Amino acid sequence: MCNVDVVDTTIILKWEWDNPCDLNVTFSTRYQQNQENEEISPDTWSAILECQDITTTECDLSSTILEYLENYTVGVRADTTQDYSPWADLTFCPFMNAKIGPPGVWLDSINGNEKIIILNPEINKPVKMWESENLCYNLTIWKNSSHPEEKTGPVFPGQFIHDLEPETTYCLKVNAFLPYNNGLYSPEYCKRTPKAWTGLPVPEHLQVHALNMKCVLYWDYLYEGNVSFLVQSLFGHKSRSSPDISKNWINVSGCENVQTAHCDISDFVGFDGIYYFQIQAVQNHKKSPWSKMQRFEPHRDNNLGPPSIKLNASEDSLQISVASPGEVENNSMSKLYPLTYQIWYWPNSSYNKKKEFVDKTSPPYVISGLSPSTLYCVQVQAFAQQYNKSSEFSNVSCIEIAKGNFLAVYIPIAIFVAVILLIIGFIYFTHFICKQVKYVFFPKCNPPLTIENIGGKDVSSSYLLTSEEPTEDCVVIVDNSSPNDVDLVDVKDLREQEEISQDSGNYSNNSGSKGSLQTTEQKET
pLDDT value at residue 486: 44
pLDDT value at residue 360: 57
Q: In this structure, are 135 and 222 located in the same domain? A: no
Q: In this structure, are 483 and 504 located in the same domain? A: yes
d(CA 306, CA 325): 5
Q: In this structure, are 132 and 111 located in the same domain? A: yes
CA angle 399, 402, 406 (to 5 degrees): 175
Q: Whats the size of the chain, residue-wise?
A: 525
**What is the three-state SS of 108-152?**
EEECCEEEEEEECCCCCCCCCCCCCCCCEEEEEEEECCCCCCCEE
Half-sphere exposure (Cβ direction) of 499: Cα atoms closer than 13 Å = 13
Q: What's the CATH code of the domain at 325?
A: 2.60.40.10
Mean pLDDT by 10 residues, the chain (525 residues): 92 87 86 76 84 92 93 92 88 94 96 96 92 93 90 96 95 95 96 94 96 97 90 94 94 94 95 96 93 96 94 86 90 92 84 68 78 87 92 92 62 84 88 79 62 52 48 51 46 50 44 40 40
Q: Are strands 2-7 and 98-99 parallel, antiparallel or unpaired?
A: parallel
Q: In this structure, are 463 and 523 located in the same domain? A: yes
Q: How many domains does the chain have?
A: 6
Smallest Cα–Cα separation from 155: which of 199, 114, 194?
114
Q: In this structure, are 396 and 464 located in the same domain? A: no
Domain end, chosen from 342, 373, 401, is at 401
User: In this structure, is residue 220 part of a structural domain?
Assistant: yes
User: In this structure, is residue 361 part of a structural domain?
Assistant: yes
For residue 107, which phi and psi values (nearest 5 degrees)? -115, 140
pLDDT value at residue 482: 45
User: In this structure, is residue 197 part of a structural domain?
Assistant: no
**Positive or negative torsion for Cα 401, 403, 408, 413:** positive
Cβ-contact 524, 482 below 8 angstroms? yes
d(CA 28, CA 49): 9
Cβ-contact 308, 321 below 8 angstroms? no
d(CA 213, CA 266): 7
Q: In this structure, are 395 and 407 located in the same domain? A: no
Domain end, chosen from 57, 78, 98, is at 98
Domain housing 433: 402-441
Query: CA 76 → CA 29, 61, 129, 504, distances in Å?
Result: 4, 12, 25, 153
- Distance linking the first and last C-alpha atoms of the chain: 177
pLDDT value at residue 349: 75
The full DSSP string for 269-332 is: --SSS-EEEEEEEEETTEEPPPPPPEEE-HHHHPBP---EEEEEE-SSEEEEEEE-TTTTTT--
Q: In this structure, are 80 and 36 located in the same domain? A: yes
Cβ contacts of 117 within 8 Å, gap of 6 or more? 104, 105, 106, 107, 108, 157, 158, 244
User: In this structure, is residue 199 part of a structural domain?
Assistant: no
Q: In this structure, are 396 and 406 located in the same domain? A: no
d(CA 118, CA 132): 18
User: In this structure, is residue 198 part of a structural domain?
Assistant: no
User: In this structure, is residue 325 part of a structural domain?
Assistant: yes
Q: In this structure, are 466 and 494 located in the same domain? A: yes
For residue 520, which phi and psi values (nearest 5 degrees)? -65, -40
Domain end, chosen from 441, 461, 490, is at 441
d(CA 210, CA 229): 21
